[in-house]
Amino acid sequence: MKKRGSRFYAGIYCRILAQDLKSKMSYRADFIISTIGMIFTNISGFVSFWILFRSFPSVDGWSYHEMLFLYGFSLVSLTPVQCFFDNNWSLRQYVYSGDFIKYCFRPINLFFYYQSEVFDIKGLGQLAFGIGTIAYSWGKIGLPFSPLMLLKLLVFLVTASLIMIALQNAGAATCFWIQNSFYVLDLAFRFKDYAKYPITIFSPVFRFIFTFLIPIAFIAYYPSLVILRPEQVPLLSWLSPVVGIVFFWLSYKLWMYGASKYSGTGS
């Protein structure tokens, strides 16, 4: 048996992805309706944002365009979780019905195998909105542009996205222990809505919670500082890639541990 390395996994993922996309395209109506739904969601987000800032010029020293940047940053960093880990939403049903067991018989990583089954193409719309927002606010704020900045942006976007993935994994994994864990997953998912606000609006206690316990501040706020306020970047911002990786790893371990405890209800 050959070793199954990352190239092996990438190959499998691409094969499943390509087939999956092909079959999705054959359900055109479904695809179009979902896309419209996604566009609606994003437009509604922008409309609320706009209505809010019509009445208030700034929040806690953050200008309209800076807030917009944070918003765009959170949209982009939330894209991977939407695209690659959407099957987490079904985990609860698979576990509840006992169907989860069908994933347990393959000679490859269980977590990978499970997540590879679904690629959610709707996330790409969000990505487009996010990139557009970042570019627009970047220009309006008048930030300088250099390849180094772009690199920083990319690195921090990728690592920031790991936080949300971690939150969602952990939320989904609770279904191995709790029945009807929908509320847990939903709660974890709702945290994303809070990610787009500057952490400084909170009192110290909650600043601590949202930094170290439920690290949503790393989804947009800390990494954005590197771009927006380069003259006074706190240490935590530089740490955000590490935090992302650590939390992702922890959530992965939790997920796998839950799966190994899984006994399969029903016969």
Q: Does 136 bind other proteins (CB under 8 A)?
A: no
Q: Does 242 bind other proteins (CB under 8 A)?
A: no
Q: Does 23 bind other proteins (CB under 8 A)?
A: yes
Q: Does 229 bind other proteins (CB under 8 A)?
A: no
Residues 164-223 within binding reach of other proteins (CB under 8 A): 178-184, 186-187, 190, 194, 197, 201-203, 206
Contact characters 47-76, other proteins, x per CB under 8 A:
xx--xx-xxxxxxxx---------------
SS (H, E, C) the chain: CCCCCHHHHHHHHHHHHHHHHHHHHCCHHHHHHHHHHHHHHHHHHHHHHHHHHHHCCEECCEEHHHHHHHHHHHHHHCHHHHHHCCCHHHHHHHHHHCHHHHHHHCCCCHHHHHHHCCCCCCHHHHHHHHHHHHHHHHHHHCCCCCHHHHHHHHHHHHHHHHHHHHHHHHHHHHHHCCCCCHHHHHHHHHHHHHCCCCHHHCCHHHHHHHHHHCCHHHCCHHHHHHHHCHHHCCHHHHHHHHHHHHHHHHHHHHHHHHHHHCCCCCC
Q: Does 250 bind other proteins (CB under 8 A)?
A: no
Q: Does 96 bind other proteins (CB under 8 A)?
A: no
Judged by CB, which is closer to other proteins: 194, or 238?
A: 194
Q: Are 163 and 215 in contact (CB under 8 A)?
A: yes
* Stretch of 34-42, 125-133, 159-167, 226-234 contacting other proteins, by CB under 8 A: 34-42
* Stretch of 33-41, 144-152, 158-166, 231-239 contacting other proteins, by CB under 8 A: 33-41
List C-alpha distances in Å: 107 to 1, 91, 104, 111. 11, 20, 9, 12
Judged by CB, which is closer to other proteins: 41, or 242?
A: 41
Q: Does 36 bind other proteins (CB under 8 A)?
A: yes
Q: Does 5 bind other proteins (CB under 8 A)?
A: no
CA–CA dist 99, 102 (Å, integer): 6
* Stretch of 8-16, 71-79, 138-146, 242-250 contacting other proteins, by CB under 8 A: 8-16
Q: Does 154 bind other proteins (CB under 8 A)?
A: no
Judged by CB, which is closer to other proteins: 46, or 249?
A: 46
Residues that bind other proteins (CB under 8 A): 1-2, 4, 8, 11-12, 15-16, 19-20, 23-24, 27, 29-30, 33-38, 40-41, 44, 47-48, 51-52, 54-61, 99, 101-102, 104-109, 113, 117, 178-184, 186-187, 190, 194, 197, 201-203, 206, 262-264, 267
